[in-house]
Amino acid sequence: MSFQLYSTETPKIKDIHLSTISTNYVDKTYSLMIGVDENNTIQYVKTINNKKNKVKIYQNKLLKNNLPLVKAAGVELVTLRCEKFDPSKGCPITIRYPINILVMAFKSFKAEIKKDSNGEWGLYRGTQKFTKMKLIARKVLGLLIGVDRIEVS
């Protein structure tokens, strides 16, 4: 007769901050994070609305979908999609945003969630690591109609 022992310990997950998302239109900010386990592999992507302290966690299987990062007036302003996701290596991502919500015109830019040579996770555009994304509003007659561009630093 053999017995199998099961561990009742839950794996330790550590949140790693990737980027703060802000805009020049409202004073609300969002945080983009990943949760990694003790093997430094990604378990989820997490977004936090810092004004409302509203947290959303997206498990790995959802990362191929468009994840809403920023919403305003019920409209998804910025979405993130992970392409060819590998929990131990990260993934190329597409960040999509509307340039004109009146005609539903969108732009996107490419970035990457990856580890550096020390095994530290980060958000990269080319070789540049960035921790801030600022949405620059596109307005007509003072009304927000979209995002003109996203500045990273």
Q: Is residue 143 part of a domain?
A: yes
Q: Is residue 36 part of a domain?
A: yes
Q: Is residue 1 part of a domain?
A: no
Q: What is the pLDDT of residues 72-95, one digit of tens each?
A: 667 677 888 988 899 999 999 999
pLDDT band of residue 96 (cuts 50, 70, 90) is very high
Q: Is residue 5 part of a domain?
A: no
Query: 14-28, 70-84, 99-113, 115-129: which range is least confident on average?
Result: 70-84
pLDDT at 144: 84
Which residue would you say has higher pLDDT here, 47 or 7? 47
- Annotate the chain with DSSP letters as a single string: --------PPPP-EEEEEEEEEESSSS--EEEEEEE-TTS-EEEEEEEETTTTEEEEEEGGGTTSPEEEEEETTEEEEEEEESS-BTTTBEEEEEEEEEETTTTEEEEEEEEEEE-TTS-EEEEETTEEESEEEEEEEEETTEEEEEEEEEE-
Q: What is the pLDDT of residues 21-31, one digit of tens each?
A: 998 888 889 99
* Predicted TM-score (pTM) of this structure: 0.84
Q: Is residue 64 part of a domain?
A: yes
Best CA proximity match to 96, nearest among 78, 83, 73: 78
pLDDT at 61: 86
Report how many domains make up the chain.
1
Q: Which domain holds residue 100?
A: 14-152
**Cβ neighbours around 12 below 10 Å, total:** 8
